[in-house]
Amino acid sequence: MRCLGLFELDAVGPAIPGPYRYQILTFTGQVYEAEYPLPAEPPEKPDDPEPEQGSIAWRNLQDYETYLCALAHEETRAKAVEDWLNNCAAYILENCLEDPARLVEPEDYEAVYAAATVPRLRMDDIGTALSQVYRAEFAGRGILEALLSLEPGEGKVDAVALWENQLLNSLGLVTSEDEAEYAQLPIMDRARKLAAFKLSDWLGSLEADRIHREAKRSG
């Protein structure tokens, strides 16, 4: 039986939308985007479908319509996740097994999927390695906590996947065989190696940001 590569299932579609985001207008007239958390209790539907703009009824209608948009987005997102999981299952059966017909019971499928896939490295795993192995912090905060609090730019990226690919490249692990061997390492060993590889860069970025903010305050 073949084990998948670290990022092999990333190419299996469809793309999964991120959380619903909406625009917020501040009292100063600035507009910014924020992630919308679905409330436990949905807002009530306003009685007036065309309230006066700027009124309380108008704001309530805006809140209700935002909720409906977020709800529709979550339904689309859940369907994409379901389709992706089904596509992953089909991909594993097609590419990792010589005789899929031998699978009969649900437990058989579960065992195959577990054996074929490699756990994804998470921010929490890296954070644990930073704190427990390297005792790393910045200004009394965890390294990742401090790093993620930096002012974001316009770009978006799966940071953990990027960092681990950078680590693989730096180690010269460029073939599928190299990657498969690396993937057999325990998850915390992967986290420890990645943290060691990136820690100096992260500390440098945090220090540069500190100096920049201090210069803005003083000048």
Complete DSSP assignment for 120-169 = PP-HHHHHHHHHHTS--EETTEEHHHHHHTSPP-S----HHHHHHHHHHH
Instruction: Estimate the crossing angle of helix 123-132 against helix 187-218, to 10 degrees.
Output: 80
Helix (H) or strand (E) holding 35: strand 31-35
CA nearest neighbour of 5 among 72, 85, 80, 96: 96
pLDDT (0 to 100) of residue 83: 94
Q: What does the alpha-carbon distance between residue 39 and residue 74 come to, in Å, rounded to a whole number?
A: 12
Residue 155's pLDDT is: 65
DSSP class of residue 27 equals T
Whole-angstrom Cα distance, residue 76 to residue 82?
10
pLDDT tens digits in sequence order for the chain, 219 residues long: 788 888 888 888 898 888 888 887 666 667 777 888 888 888 888 888 888 887 888 888 988 999 999 999 999 999 999 999 999 989 988 888 888 777 888 888 888 888 888 889 999 999 999 999 999 999 999 999 999 888 766 667 889 999 999 999 999 998 888 888 898 899 999 999 999 999 999 999 999 999 988 888 886
Please list the residues that pair with 137 across neighbouring strands: 142
DSSP state of 184: T
